[in-house]
Amino acid sequence: MNVIRPITAADYASLHDIAEESGIGFTSLPVNEELLRKKINRAEASFTKKNVTGPGDESYLFVMEDTATGQVVGTSGIEAAVGLDDAFYHYHIGKVVHASRELDIHNTVEILTFCNDYTGVTEICTLFLREAARGGINGRFLSKVRFLFMMEHRERFSETVIAEMRGVSNEDGSSPFWEWLEEHFFSMDFPTADYLTGIGNKVFIAELMPKYPIYVNLLSEKAQAVIGQVHQKTRPALQLLQEEGFSCRGYVDIFDAGPTVEANLSHIRTAHASRKLPVVIDDQTAAQGQGHYIINTSIEDFRAVATEMAVSEEQQVAVLSRQAAAALNISEGESVRFAPVKFRD
C-alpha cells in the first residue's frame, strides 16, 4: 500500500534522488544539498506549527511511501502563500490596440507585462512521481491529496490556488522562449537561470528583466509558439488540473512561458466533493465499497491512503478496513475526510 505523509529529515536521500530524476525546468527541487535540507526543515516546522489562522510562510511537503518496501516513490507540496518573502514574478498576456480612424487602420497586438499579481495566493507545487511508480492512480492520488488537506485545514490557505506548469524545453535543457530573453537581456542560459531561481537567487530577475511590456510579435517565431504551452511530460498533470476546474487566466512563467493555472479552493472538484465522517472498522463492508482518496484530520501526523471504503448514509459513517485504519493512524470513532476516485457525472 502507498501512504502519503509529511516529509522528514530521514527522507533527504530520497528527495535528492527525486530532484536529480526530475531534471531541468523543475525549479522547486534544485539539486543542492543545503537547499533541499532547508526545504525539509521548513516543511517539518510548518507541519508542527500551532494556532495558524491564515496563510503565511508555511510550506507543506509530502512524500508517497511504498509501505511494502519502505521506499519513497514521489513527492508533492503546497506553498501556503507565495511572494511574501521573495518576489513572485509572472508575465501576463494582454492586448493593446493601435488604431487610426483617419487611416482606417486597426491593429490588435499581444503584449507580455511583468507583474506580481499572484502575491499571497496558495500554490500547489513540487509534484513528481518516480518512473517505477507511475501507473494506476498513483499520480492522481499524489496530486489530489493536497486538495483534501487544504479543505480540511482551510484556515491555513488562500481561497485562490495556483499551479505553475512546466513550459516547453528541449532535451538539452534549452527553452525557446528563454533563448530570446537570453539574447536580448540576460546573457545567461536557461539551466543557469532556472537553477539560480531554484536556490532562491531572484535578484537578477528584477535587475535584468525588461521593465516595460514586451510586444509578442517582436519575439522569435519559436518563442511565440511556446507561450502558454506545457512540456510534453507535463500534459497529464495539466489535464488532471483542468478536470479539477483549474484554468489559465493569461499568466505565464517568465523563463519558459509555461502557463499558470488557477482555481478557487471551494470550486476544486475533489475539494468540493469531499466529505468528513466518523469511522467504523469493518473489513468485509469496506471491501464492498468504492475506491476513495482518504485522509486523517491531523496536520503533524497526517496520513493519506487510496483504497476501497464504504459509506453508510443511514448511520452517517465511513467504513474502513483494519489495514486502511492502521495506515491512517486512526481508531474507530475518529473522523476522516475523503473523496471518490471516480466521479459519477
Reply yes or no on whether 92 is catalytic.
Answer: no
Contact 74, 142 (CB under 8 A): yes
Q: Which three cell numbers stand for residue 312?
A: 453508510
Rounded-to-integer distance, Cα 71 and Cα 63, Å: 10
HSE, CB side, 13 Å, CA atoms: give it for residue 61: 25
Residue 50's SS3 state is coil
- What does the alpha-carbon distance between residue 124 and residue 75 come to, in Å, rounded to a whole number? 12
Q: Which of 107, 64, 116 is nearest to 254 (CA)?
A: 116
Closest CA to 42 of 73, 87, 82, 9: 9
Question: Alpha-carbon distance 230 to 260, whole Å?
Answer: 10
**CA angle, corner 168, sides to 94 and 135, nearest 5?**
120
Q: Which one of 231, 267, 272, 292 is the catalytic residue? A: 231
Residue ranges with strand state E in 201-312:
214-215, 247-252, 259-264, 275-281, 290-296, 304-312
Does residue 96 contact residue 35 with C-beta atoms inside 8 Å?
no
Residue with cell 522569435: 220
Helices (H), the chain: 12-22, 33-48, 138-152, 176-181, 190-198, 203-208, 221-226, 235-244, 269-273, 283-287, 322-327
Q: Which residues does the annotation mark as catalytic?
A: 231
